Chains A and B, each alone.
Chain A
Amino acid sequence: MARTSFLPLRRIPLRQSAGRQHHAGPLTYVLLGTAALFSLFPLYWNLVAASHTGERVVEAPAPLLPGPRLFDNLSFAWNQVDMGEALVNTTVVASLVAVSTVLFATLAGFAFAKLPFRGRGALLTLVVATMTIPPQLSVIPLYRIITDLGWVDQLQSVVLPSLVAAFGVFFMRQYLVEALPVELVEAARMDGAHSLRIVWHVVFPVARPAMAVLGMLVFVQAWNDFFWPFIALTPDGSPTLQVALAGLGAGNHTVDQAVVLTGALISTVPLLLVFAVLGRHIVGGITAGAVKS
């Protein structure tokens, strides 16, 4: 009995019947289609709402098809509410945070993955442990600090605390442990290369795919960050998109729901475009970062 199962002829059909090898039936497509519909409908409806007048959006029943007002709403949000400035601010903040996180996380990840040093294990454990500390624990002193420094409404108060994140360090370490053969590092050292040269000529080229993925993940996160920017920046100063949206939603400038939702659209569309172009890589990155932990 046990023997026959090892015969090639037995194995092939069994393999096909198991787990992921199985072809999806119609029910699978129906369920997945429903899930995709639920995922995408709010995004579609955001576009619909942004293309009507404010009066039409709050009229029952709410519209289901796009209207003619999209460009009027866009130009109003852009000029009156200054979503344009918020868009620029958010791009600056997210880019700085992404670049610095990727750079520092790669250096630290390389050290944790391949360089021997005292206390490496303990420090790595500390890095992972810091991931569980909620931001609520630090916002009160941070707020006092930026108040004392006169940094309220200055973008650096959002950028500086996010220069590097534990998640990034851990992510790069996981990647480099497997992707970077220690022989490469050793060979470079034997050739007389100092550490920075090794980083530039060996680590960065090997780490590039992971750096790209981490950069995208951090960019998305920084783009969408809400809690701390909401405290450090004000809608009337130089807000990020999320803070500006909070101001719109609370009715500081306008109660025109179509304009509010146009703002939401402005904040969402750039990332959706990134996803449409790089979706596959982001999907790969999310799964790579999570499974190995």
Chain B
Amino acid sequence: MATSLRARNGGSPSPDAPPSPATRRGAGRPAASRRGRLYRWDLKATPYLFVAPFFLTFAAFGLFPLLYTGWLSLHRVELGGDPRWKGLENYTDLATSEFFWNALANTFTIGVISTVPQLLMALGLAHLLNYKLRGRGFFRVAVLAPYATSIAAATLVFAQLFNTDYGLINSALGWAGFDPVDWESSKWPAQIAISTIVTWRWTGYNALIYLAAMQAVPQDLYEAAALDGASRWRQFLSVTIPSIRPTILFTVIVSTIGATQLFGEPMLYGGSVGISGGSGNQFQTLSLLMYEKGWVTGALGQASAIAWVMLLLLLLIGGVQSLLARSHRAKPGS
């Protein structure tokens, strides 16, 4: 396409059919060739002009800060002060800091208990939404409604629902004959409560993504499976799931990235002790620790090191996931 476009428009008038000398020597010739040059320039430069805003914005607010964070992570930097070279000390400090390992473990556990149920429930929901339904539009919008809620609003509401003394969740547990749960200062209940907020906000969103992928699965596959006597559950496992595997991988990656960055939910859930991730750091995530180091303690170098560890973690997870995806892709082909 590229060459044909350029050939046809490179010089006006059209070079495809050699123009007669008469038109070539026409009165408008200098103007035409200037226009031709302008045209060629337009053709060549325009694509770069069109993509430039993205790359300029990214260079200024993405790439430069990314590298600068890396540079800062090798320095001792106080808020407003001049950086002093520290080498890898910020990183070795992290390796011996129990706060860092605690935050890393919390990020991991909260990530797992929010991502896994969320995606499994989304798969189930998408399967249900895929039936011929009355009120389909209502169900779709209803499960997507949490997506319209902000982290802040959702967390403040759930913090009340999970309140140990007067929250509705403990009341409901009480009516069902269970003892009240300490959703704030016990480690696992607090992490479960925070994961619930994440799961609540994102399950419907993921379900709709799965639903769209399911609707693209060729009907013939189900027919063939039905012919072979596969039950509907069997069809779901053996036709639907493998067919939408790329979409599942997409949601796993997006959710993992989200889980690694978890910040607002634990911070606001913790109220006055939110920045340290609860009274005993029981739900302090890497992002929270980074914020605490940078903006409360004022150690921007250490905060930068935490940020870079997060990037390395994401690269590691991304590498593992693409390896898994490749081995899965290799299987059906062979």
Binding site for B on A (CB under 8 A): 5, 11, 14-15, 17-24, 28-29, 31-32, 35-36, 38-40, 42-43, 45-46, 49, 57-62, 64, 104-105, 107-108, 110-112, 115-117, 120, 123, 127, 130, 132-145, 147, 160-161, 163-164, 166, 169, 182, 186, 189-190, 192, 194-195, 220, 223-224, 226-227, 230-231, 241-242, 245-246, 248-251, 257, 260-261, 263-265, 267-268, 271-272, 274-276, 279-280, 282-283, 286-288, 290-291, 293
Interface pair A14/B226, CB less than 8 Å apart:
yes
Known A245-B153, A246-B152; further 17 A-B contacts with Cβ < 8 A: A14-B227, A21-B219, A22-B131, A29-B133, A45-B157, A60-B166, A108-B54, A133-B62, A136-B263, A136-B290, A136-B310, A137-B308, A163-B57, A169-B54, A242-B152, A249-B268, A264-B153
- Alpha-carbon gap, A179 to B132, bound state (A): 29
Q: Does B217 contact A (CB under 8 A)?
A: yes
B138 to chain A, nearest CB (A): 8
Q: Check if A62 sits within 8 Å of B50, measured CB to CB.
A: no
In the complex the two chains form, is A287's CB within 8 Å of B145's CB?
A: no
Is B323 an interface position by the 8 A CB rule?
no
- The one of A49, A123, A136, A282 in contact with B51, judged by C-beta atoms closer than 8 angstroms, is A123
Minimal beta-carbon separation of B31 from chain A (angstroms): 12
Contact across chains for B307 and A286 when beta carbons are under 8 A apart = no
B residues at A contact (CB < 8 Å): 1-2, 5-6, 8-9, 12, 38-39, 42-44, 46-51, 53-55, 57-58, 61-62, 64-66, 68-69, 72, 80, 121, 124-125, 128-134, 137-161, 163, 165-168, 171, 200, 204-205, 208-209, 211-217, 219, 222-223, 225-227, 232, 235, 239-240, 247, 250-251, 253, 257, 260-261, 263-264, 267-268, 271-272, 274, 286-287, 290-291, 294-295, 300, 303-304, 306-308, 310-311, 314, 318
**A137-B69, A283-B141 known; A260 and B150 CB under 8 Å?**
no
Task: Say yes or no: A111-B157 contact (C-beta < 8 A), given A132-B318, A272-B145.
Answer: no
| Interface pair B153/A35, CB less than 8 Å apart | no
Bound CA–CA A242/B267 (angstroms): 13
28 intermolecular pairs with C-beta atoms under 8 Å apart:
A19-B217, A20-B130, A24-B128, A35-B128, A42-B149, A49-B160, A107-B50, A117-B44, A127-B54, A133-B66, A134-B257, A139-B65, A141-B65, A141-B69, A189-B9, A195-B43, A226-B151, A226-B264, A231-B291, A241-B152, A245-B152, A245-B268, A246-B268, A249-B156, A251-B271, A264-B153, A267-B150, A287-B208
CB-based nearest B residue for A19: B222
CA distance A18 to B222 in the complex (A): 5
Which residues of chain B come closer than 8 Å to A250, judged between CB atoms? 268, 271-272, 274
Pick the residue among B227, B261, B295, B308 that contacts A231 (CB under 8 A): B295
Distance of A271 Cα from B214 Cα, bound (Å): 28
Q: Which of A164, A223, A241 contacts B54 (CB 8 A)?
A: A164
Most buried by A among B61, B257, B295, B307: B61
A17 CA / B226 CA spacing, docked (Å): 8
Contact B235 A18 (CB under 8 A): yes
How many Å lie between the Cα of A61 and that of B166 in the bound state? 6
| CB contact between B48 and one of A43, A117, A130, A283 (< 8 Å): that residue | A117
Q: Contact at A249–B263, with CB atoms within 8 Å?
A: no
List chain A residues, Cβ under 8 A from B227: 5, 14
| Chain A, Cβ-Cβ closest to B46 | A195
Cβ-neighbour of B156 out of A17, A115, A163, A260 (below 8 A): A260
Q: Are A257 and B65 in contact (CB under 8 A)?
A: no
Partner of B132, one of A24, A120, A245, A290: A24
CB distance from B134 to the nearest CB of A (A): 8
Which residue in chain A gives the minimum CB-CB distance to B68?
Answer: A141
> By DSSP majority rule, is chain A's interface helix, strand, loop, or mixed?
helix
- A182, A261, A272: the one contacting B148 at CB < 8 Å is A272
Cβ-neighbour of A287 out of B141, B158, B212 (below 8 A): B212
Tell me whether B65 and A261 are in contact (CB under 8 A). no
Contact (Cβ within 8 A) A242 B150 = yes
- Contact assessment for B307 and A137 in the assembled complex, using a CB-CB cutoff below 8 Å: yes
Complexed CA–CA distance, A279 and B130 (Å): 18
The answer on a CB contact under 8 Å between A115 and B50 is yes
Q: Which residues of B contact A189 (CB under 8 A)?
A: 5, 9
* Cross-chain contact B62 with A242 (CB below 8 angstroms): no
The smallest C-beta distance from B107 to any residue of chain A, in angstroms, reads 11
Q: Which residues of A lie under 8 Å from residue B166 when comparing CB positions?
A: 58-62
Q: Is B212 within 8 A of A290, CB to CB?
A: yes
A287 near B58 (CB under 8 angstroms)?
no
Given known contacts A108-B53, A250-B271, A14 and B143 CB-to-CB distance under 8 angstroms? no
Residue contact B141 to A224, C-beta cutoff 8 Å:
no
Whether A161 lies near B57 (C-beta < 8 A) is yes
* A137–B66 CB distance below 8 A: yes
Closest 10 CB pairs of A and B: A116-B2, A287-B212, A18-B222, A138-B65, A24-B131, A117-B47, A224-B150, A264-B153, A141-B65, A161-B61
Instruction: Tell me whether B53 and A104 are in contact (CB under 8 A).
Output: yes
Q: Bound complex: CA of A31 vs CA of B290, how far in Å?
A: 41
- Whether A35 pairs with B125 at a CB distance below 8 angstroms is yes
Q: Given the complex of chains A and B, what is the CA–CA distance between A62 and B169 in angstroms?
A: 10
Chain B residues in 8 Å Cβ range of A136: 261, 263, 286-287, 290, 306-307, 310
Chain B CB count within 10 A is highest, among A18, A120, A160, A286, for A18
The answer to whether B167 and A264 touch across the interface, beta carbons within 8 angstroms, is: no
Nearest CB of B to A17, in Å: 6
Distance between Cα atoms of A186 and B219 in the complex (Å):
37
